[in-house]
């Protein structure tokens, strides 16, 4: 016979009501199967006769196995694979009789072994096709027998070395969590600092387009954690801040600035960019409109607006 299919495995999921499972490829003897059961992630290779019996050996269409213990548990996995010894036990003597079936069976066995090995290679970790074997050595480190070790790519990016152990990673993660909690507490403490107020509702700071908001003009502070600035443009009309940066840089990551508009006629406009990270331009057009910003270390970022 010919081998018209490269299939040499069948996979099943148990339903608690089935004990007989088919295999759809040819084997010559009942010992040429490997049956593996997986329950909750634990694999067990089953033993012929003790754990299962086989029918259909020699049939081109395959046959079936029957689990001796009964039905496969619901959710359990079962894999039936062709498993042939890599041996050549057929002898052809000089001037001996020619038996076509014996030759074809040996050719079939050779092809079955190749299919079996291909299936195993297909499940193995492999380099991508675009990386030549000469560019990366996939050999595991010689000190791989280290409890809890990890494997990482070496500094030269051409092979593997041992990385930190799982214990070291866990410790680093715990330290990072603690550091983050400490930083969060510090940020919360800073955010709860008393606000510094510039201007008043009746006497707001007048902001000029070519100057923007600066500490030098006493519009703001570069050291206050939280600050409120009552502002207006130098109108009438809209004062579009043209200088960069539009607001002088802060000095403390997490600094907060609340700008409150105090004029209906001398409006103030801020644009995204030039020291600000806004969700589009923002024009404070009427009394009571506001823009809240925080300093991220590089720019003043929009936190909220009421306009």
Three-state SS string over 238-307 comes to EEECCCCCCECCCCCCCCEEEEEECCCCEEEEECCECCEECCCCEEECCCCCEEEEEECCCCEEEEEEEC
| Helix, strand or coil, per DSSP, at residue 4 | coil
CA distance 111 to 115: 6
The upper half-sphere exposure of residue 193, i.e. CA atoms within 13 Å in the direction of its Cβ, equals: 19
Kindly tell me the sign of the dihedral angle through the C-alpha atoms of 236, 240, 241, 243: negative
CA distance 281 to 171: 45
What tokens were used for 265?
């006629």
Whether the model pTM is above 0.75: no
The residue to which tokens 């919360």 are assigned: 188
Gap between the terminal Cα atoms of the chain: 82
Give tens-digit pLDDT for 223-260: 888 999 999 999 899 999 999 999 999 999 999 999 99
- Given a contact cutoff of 8 angstroms between Cβ atoms, the answer to whether 278 and 271 are in contact is yes
pLDDT at 208: 96
- For the chain, 307 residues long, give each residue's pLDDT as a single digit of tens: 566 677 889 999 999 999 999 999 999 899 999 999 999 989 999 999 999 999 999 898 999 999 999 999 999 999 999 988 877 766 667 776 667 777 777 777 878 888 888 888 888 888 888 888 899 999 999 888 888 899 999 999 999 999 998 888 888 888 888 888 887 766 655 544 578 999 999 999 999 999 999 999 999 998 888 999 999 999 899 999 999 999 999 999 999 999 999 999 999 999 999 999 999 999 999 999 999 999 999 999 999 999 8
The residue to which tokens 């010559």 are assigned: 28
- Given a contact cutoff of 8 angstroms between Cβ atoms, the answer to whether 230 and 198 are in contact is yes
CA distance 14 to 81: 17
- Given a contact cutoff of 8 angstroms between Cβ atoms, the answer to whether 31 and 58 are in contact is no
Q: Give residues with Cβ within 8 angstroms of 210, minimum separation 6.
A: 242, 243
CA distance 244 to 247: 8
- Buried (b) or exposed (e) across 150-184, using 16+ Cβ within 10 A? eeeeeeeeeebebeeeeeeeeeeeeeeeeeeeeee
- Given a contact cutoff of 8 angstroms between Cβ atoms, the answer to whether 24 and 62 are in contact is yes
Bridge partners, residue 79, by sequence: 11, 36
- Given a contact cutoff of 8 angstroms between Cβ atoms, the answer to whether 53 and 67 are in contact is no
pLDDT at 109: 80
pLDDT at 2: 61
Residue ranges of alpha helices (H) inside the chain are: 100-122, 166-191
- Given a contact cutoff of 8 angstroms between Cβ atoms, the answer to whether 299 and 257 are in contact is no
DSSP E strands, 130-225: 150-153, 160-163, 196-198, 205-207
| Helix, strand or coil, per DSSP, at residue 105 | helix
What tokens were used for 176?
């990072």
The residues spanned by each domain of the chain are 9-88+95-122, 131-189, 196-306
What tokens were used for 38?
């997986």
């Amino acid at each position: 016979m010919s081998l018209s299919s490269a299939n040499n495995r069948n996979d099943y999921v148990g339903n608690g009501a089935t004990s007989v499972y088919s295999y759809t490829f040819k084997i010559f003897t009942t010992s040429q199967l490997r049956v593996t059961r997986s329950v909750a992630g634990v694999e067990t290779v089953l033993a012929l006769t003790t754990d299962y019996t086989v029918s259909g050996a020699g049939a081109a269409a395959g046959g079936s196995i029957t689990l001796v213990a009964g039905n496969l548990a619901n959710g359990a996995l079962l894999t039936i694979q062709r498993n042939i010894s890599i041996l050549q036990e057929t002898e052809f003597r000089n001037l001996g009789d020619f038996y076509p079936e014996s030759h074809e069976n040996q050719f079939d066995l050779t092809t079955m072994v190749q299919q079996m090995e291909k299936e195993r290679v297909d499940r193995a970790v492999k380099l991508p096709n675009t990386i030549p074997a000469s560019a990366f050595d996939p050999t595991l480190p010689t000190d791989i027998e280290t409890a809890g070790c990890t494997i990482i790519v070496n500094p030269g990016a051409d092979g593997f070395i041992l990385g930190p152990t799982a214990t070291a990673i866990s410790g680093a993660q715990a330290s990072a969590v603690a550091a983050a909690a400490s930083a969060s507490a510090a940020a919360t403490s800073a955010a709860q600092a008393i606000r510094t107020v510039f201007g008043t509702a009746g006497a707001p700071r007048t902001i000029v387009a070519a100057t923007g908001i600066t500490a030098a003009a006493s519009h703001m502070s570069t050291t206050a954690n939280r600050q409120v600035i009552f502002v207006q443009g130098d109108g009438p009309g809209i004062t579009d801040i043209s200088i960069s940066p539009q607001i002088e840089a802060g000095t403390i990551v997490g600094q907060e600035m609340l700008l409150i508009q105090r004029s209906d006629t001398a409006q103030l406009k801020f644009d995204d960019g030039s020291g600000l990270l806004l969700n589009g331009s923002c024009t404070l057009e009427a009394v009571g409109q506001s823009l809240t910003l925080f300093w991220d270390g590089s720019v003043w970022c929009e936190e909220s607006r009421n306009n």
